[in-house]
Amino acid sequence: MIRIVRVMLRRRRGTALLVLALSVIASATAAAVPLYTGSAARAVTAAQVAEAAPAELSIARTVLLSHGFGPPQPEEKLAPQLPYRPGFTTVGGLLIGGLLTVPPAAPPVADAVSDVDPVGSPAWLAYRSGVCANVRMVAGRCIAGAGEAIVPESAGRKPGAEIGFVAGTASAGGFRADGDPVGLTVVGVYAIGDLTGAYGAGRSFTGVPQPGEEPEANVPAVFTTLETAAATPFSTAFQTTDLIADGVDFTDDAGLRAVVAQEQTLGEEGGYNVDTTLPELLDRIAAQRTSLERSVQVAAVPLLLLTLVVLYLAVSSSTVRRRTESGLAGLRGVPGFTQWWLSAAETLLPAVAAAPFGLAVGWLGVRVLAAWTLSPGISPQLTWTVVLTVIAAIVTVAALAGVAVAQASRGPIAAQLRGTPARAHNVLIGLAEVCAVLAAAAAGYQITAEDRPGGLALLTPLLTAVAAGLVARRLTGPVAERLGRWGLRRGRVNRAMAAFVIARRPTHSRLLALLVVLFGTGGFAVAATTAGAWARTERAQLDVGAAEVWSLPTTTAGALRDAVRTADPSGRYAMAAAMLPDKRFRVLAVDAGRFCGIGYWGADSELPQEQACAMLHAESGVALPMVTTQTAPDQIAAGSAESVAVTTVAQVSALPRLGTTGGLVDLAGLPAATPVRQAQVWFAAEVPETVRAALRTQGLTPVAIATAARAAEQLDHSGPALALRFYLVACLTAVVLGVTGVLVVGAAEHDEIGRVMRALRIQGMRSRSVPRQVAGGYAVLVVVAAVIGTLVAGLAWRTARGVVPMVADGGWVPRTPLLPERPGLLAVALLGQVVVLLLTSLVVATVLRRSVEGETR
């Protein structure tokens, strides 16, 4: 039997190669889903981890040690526990609060800079394991022995300086010195920025480590050895044990949550206060990954479906042509399995052989896609899930091929021997059409009825396209038949014959359904991708507030506003802004006179920005007007000043920097002496460098700079963005399947249409009429499919644009616009597909013409 199968394969290698190619596409698509999902999930995780706050990457234990200025403790007693957790680095520490002074009983230090407080400045005398490996020395060396210390740049000391430290007890604004001073030698100066990373575990080495404390309350840490810290007399100290998640890949969500829970339990049992926001990071990663996985899976469905449909077309048209062989096997009483195997082998063998190729193609494709869309260095990883998915795809392909073969081998042997096609299952086809339409309607209803639609709703574009394709397929025959007769009555033979070919060859109506799905899903994918990019840009702009925002140290409202106005008297490029220190309600104060020209405003906001600016202008003596996103209190805290009365003048869905919670007031309406935290300067996109320089001259030096472009870039690496890119690539790849579909139908109908054309040629039909009729028929199909598909895409967009994932962090998302953001791109994509398919049709028609001419001669 193997010999016969081999001969069959050799005889019909075209079909075998086509099945092989389609099976490769199917298995590559199947492989691409877990490969891309895995790679993108790693990229998303890496991006989230990179942007995570130090407290989200650590589990910090703190316990207060009370010593009451007793005698120096042995190191062993003060040394923190260092528990081991796989993937975590354990950092132990000891923090003694106090004042940094001149050394006891020593003359003033010669190299002390002028801003050193002669009374003493608040500081932590700190021991922290691994400090030398984790902070960058800008001068001198790191600590190595007793009595040595390293200080931050802000302490104004140089290596070699002698300093004193007096342990104290916490009081308002710092420490009250209570202990005996100890002398230390500064051996190095470190960069404070290194402590704001994961190694710092979110502890305020630049501030008092108490919740709610302002980060600007700068209390630097003077690092010493444990021996030095232990020898320092103190009343109270904080012993710290920080688990730093620097070796965790964040793939085991449940395991990490279990670690957090265990550490919290163990810590509380041991009397520790345990602080971590690691679960929040895990929540964000989980949300991103879930959105990504779901969206990529949904995105792959159209491609897989189209592949299977084209494959079915190819296999069924091939097996129909071999119906006489099937009948012959029946005539000889060949056993059922042998019959089936002889019919199916030439499909099944290429399908199975395609598995490794599909896996390789999928891997390479995802590698290329990953290089384009993901972070550098992330490549797809082959896992058992990928292999099993490919096997599942091949089994599906094989099952489909088996069904196609069984369909083609149906009916009486006499009919098979005559090559008469098996009767179609009209009832089943009708039921399938009804089911498809109902599924599309159910998905549409789910979208309109549910707040957060999922499941079927995500497949709405595909289901709508499939339903429309099936209806179009059903109507094609009668409509084309009428058009054909109409054409004949008017003597338009070519048009009439093209219409008759469409009407009477069922493969053409199937091709129309396929093309409708292609255009429908492709149009939706392009619209979704462009809308996604727009939404991320909108979100990033609103998150940052302006094209560029400087964060500044604490100042007063008046000083900030005056400095910015002095640096940019035109008011076109820079604007002062600040958060007010109200803990209950987030309030952002902006310079309302400049806000309209510089600050971003939601594109779909209920209130025009100019109107908002006008409303914010306050008159003295009355409550401060506030634009809010929700019900606001009547009074808001404004630092050390009295509470400020506010009144809501308008309510909108989202505000810059505040998102969906908070209120906006005019900075000019605040008393000039109001202390502001998170002071900011907002810049317009086209700000000249001279304005920035002028601001620096005014003493406004940024501690951090954020730009809308950078924020948008970060969102571009979020789960939904990566999923939408996969969706687009999948739908564009489907164009290849459309081309293949035209070729398959061309090959399937080659003999029959060729026979008709030859007969007409003998009757005197012109040679050029052959390609006109054939290509004309395909052209009509392509154009009709493009029109229906575009309408379907529009309908699906109108209904289902809300289910397109834009961001996955639960934050504010702009309403997806009804009209496409980049209609030009949509038009080019549509036109490109039409042109490619028409060119393919022309190739099919030309091949047929040559065949007809060759045999007519």
Least distance from another protein to the Cβ atom of residue 10, Å: 8
Least distance from another protein to the Cβ atom of residue 325, Å: 7
Residue (412 or 671) nearer to another protein, CB: 412
CA–CA distance, 773 with 753 (Å, rounded to integer): 10
Residue (86 or 333) nearer to another protein, CB: 333
| Given 17, 331, 693, 759, the residue binding another protein (CB under 8 A) | 331
2 binds another protein (CB under 8 A): no
Contact map string, positions 210 to 229, toward another protein, x by CB under 8 A: --------------------
Question: Three-class SS string for 498-560?
Answer: HHHHHHHCHHHHHHHHHHHHHHHHHHHHHHHHHHHHHHHHHHHHHHHCCCEEEEECCEEHHHH
CA–CA distance, 168 with 208 (Å, rounded to integer): 13
CA–CA distance, 190 with 356 (Å, rounded to integer): 55
Q: Which two tokens stand for residue 522?
A: 């492709």
Residue (33 or 320) nearer to another protein, CB: 320
Residue (330 or 402) nearer to another protein, CB: 330
Piece of the chain touching another protein by CB under 8 A; list 81-89, 330-338, 487-495, 800-808: 330-338
Least distance from another protein to the Cβ atom of residue 5, Å: 10
> In sequence order, what are the beta bridge partners of 181?
166
Q: Which two tokens stand for residue 28?
A: 């590559």
Least distance from another protein to the Cβ atom of residue 330, Å: 7
| Given 286, 328, 736, 787, the residue binding another protein (CB under 8 A) | 328
Residue (77 or 332) nearer to another protein, CB: 332
Least distance from another protein to the Cβ atom of residue 410, Å: 12
Piece of the chain touching another protein by CB under 8 A; list 33-41, 329-337, 541-549, 759-767: 329-337
17 binds another protein (CB under 8 A): no
Q: How buried is 385 (Cβ within 10 angstroms: 0-12 exposed, 13-18 middle, 19+ buried)?
A: middle
What is the DSSP secondary structure assignment for residue 118, as one 8-state letter? Answer: S
Least distance from another protein to the Cβ atom of residue 405, Å: 17
Residue (271 or 335) nearer to another protein, CB: 335
| Given 247, 412, 478, 811, the residue binding another protein (CB under 8 A) | 412
Residue (417 or 652) nearer to another protein, CB: 417
Residue (6 or 482) nearer to another protein, CB: 6
Least distance from another protein to the Cβ atom of residue 421, Å: 17
Piece of the chain touching another protein by CB under 8 A; list 252-260, 323-331, 484-492, 591-599: 323-331
| Given 147, 159, 183, 330, the residue binding another protein (CB under 8 A) | 330
Least distance from another protein to the Cβ atom of residue 790, Å: 41
| Given 86, 105, 271, 332, the residue binding another protein (CB under 8 A) | 332
Least distance from another protein to the Cβ atom of residue 27, Å: 29
Residue (329 or 644) nearer to another protein, CB: 329
Least distance from another protein to the Cβ atom of residue 21, Å: 23
Least distance from another protein to the Cβ atom of residue 347, Å: 17
Least distance from another protein to the Cβ atom of residue 336, Å: 8
Residue (342 or 792) nearer to another protein, CB: 342
Say which residue the tokens 């035109």 belong to. Answer: 570
Residue (414 or 672) nearer to another protein, CB: 414
Query: In what helix (H) or strand (E) does residue 93 lie, and over which residues does it extend?
Result: strand 89-101
- How many binding residues for another protein (CB under 8 A)? 23
Least distance from another protein to the Cβ atom of residue 4, Å: 5
273, 263 contact by CB (below 8 A): no
Residue (68 or 333) nearer to another protein, CB: 333
CA–CA distance, 837 with 816 (Å, rounded to integer): 31
Least distance from another protein to the Cβ atom of residue 40, Å: 48
What sign has the CA pseudo-torsion 128, 134, 138, 144? positive
413 binds another protein (CB under 8 A): yes
Piece of the chain touching another protein by CB under 8 A; list 254-262, 355-363, 409-417, 466-474: 409-417
CA–CA distance, 240 with 129 (Å, rounded to integer): 10
What is the Cα Rg of the chain in Å? Answer: 36
| Given 112, 132, 142, 334, the residue binding another protein (CB under 8 A) | 334
CB-CB neighbours of 175 under 10 Å: 22
Least distance from another protein to the Cβ atom of residue 422, Å: 15
Piece of the chain touching another protein by CB under 8 A; list 177-185, 262-270, 407-415, 794-802: 407-415
338 binds another protein (CB under 8 A): yes
Contact map string, positions 415 to 454, toward another protein, x by CB under 8 A: --x-------------------------------------
829, 556 contact by CB (below 8 A): no
Q: Which two tokens stand for residue 223?
A: 């690092």
335 binds another protein (CB under 8 A): yes
Q: Which two tokens stand for residue 549?
A: 């925002």
Residue (7 or 388) nearer to another protein, CB: 7
Q: List, as one string, the DSSP characters of 276-325.
A: --HHHHHHHHHHHHHHHHHHHHHHHHHHHHHHHHHHHHHHHHHHHHTHHH
354, 24 contact by CB (below 8 A): yes
805, 720 contact by CB (below 8 A): yes
| Given 8, 366, 394, 535, the residue binding another protein (CB under 8 A) | 8
C-alpha count within 13 angstroms, C-beta hemisphere, residue 493: 9
Contacts of 201 (CB under 8 A, 6+ apart): 54, 55, 57, 58, 60, 91, 240, 242, 244
Least distance from another protein to the Cβ atom of residue 744, Å: 22
- H helices present in 545-670, as ranges: 557-567, 592-598, 609-616
345 binds another protein (CB under 8 A): no
Q: Which two tokens stand for residue 620?
A: 């003295």
Q: Which two tokens stand for residue 326?
A: 């099937």
Piece of the chain touching another protein by CB under 8 A; list 115-123, 210-218, 320-328, 703-711: 320-328
CA–CA distance, 249 with 7 (Å, rounded to integer): 53
C-alpha count within 13 angstroms, C-beta hemisphere, residue 839: 8
What sign has the CA pseudo-torsion 849, 855, 856, 857? positive
CA–CA distance, 725 with 536 (Å, rounded to integer): 13
Instruction: Characterize the bridge pairing of strands 221-223 and 121-128.
Output: parallel
Report how far apart, in Å, the C-alpha atoms of 115 and of each of 154, 219, 736, 796 are: 10, 15, 71, 67
Residue (4 or 395) nearer to another protein, CB: 4
Least distance from another protein to the Cβ atom of residue 506, Å: 19
Question: Three-class SS string for 665-720?
Answer: EEHHHCCCCCEEEEEEEEECCCCCHHHHHHHHHCCCCCCEEEEHHHHHHHHCCCHH
Least distance from another protein to the Cβ atom of residue 1, Å: 8
Contact map string, positions 275 to 314, toward another protein, x by CB under 8 A: ----------------------------------------
CA–CA distance, 797 with 145 (Å, rounded to integer): 69
33 binds another protein (CB under 8 A): no
288, 323 contact by CB (below 8 A): no
324 binds another protein (CB under 8 A): yes
C-alpha angle 623-627-632 in degrees, rounded to nearest 5:
70
Residue (108 or 333) nearer to another protein, CB: 333
Interaction site with another protein (CB under 8 A)? 3-4, 7-8, 10-11, 324-325, 328-336, 338, 342, 412-414, 417
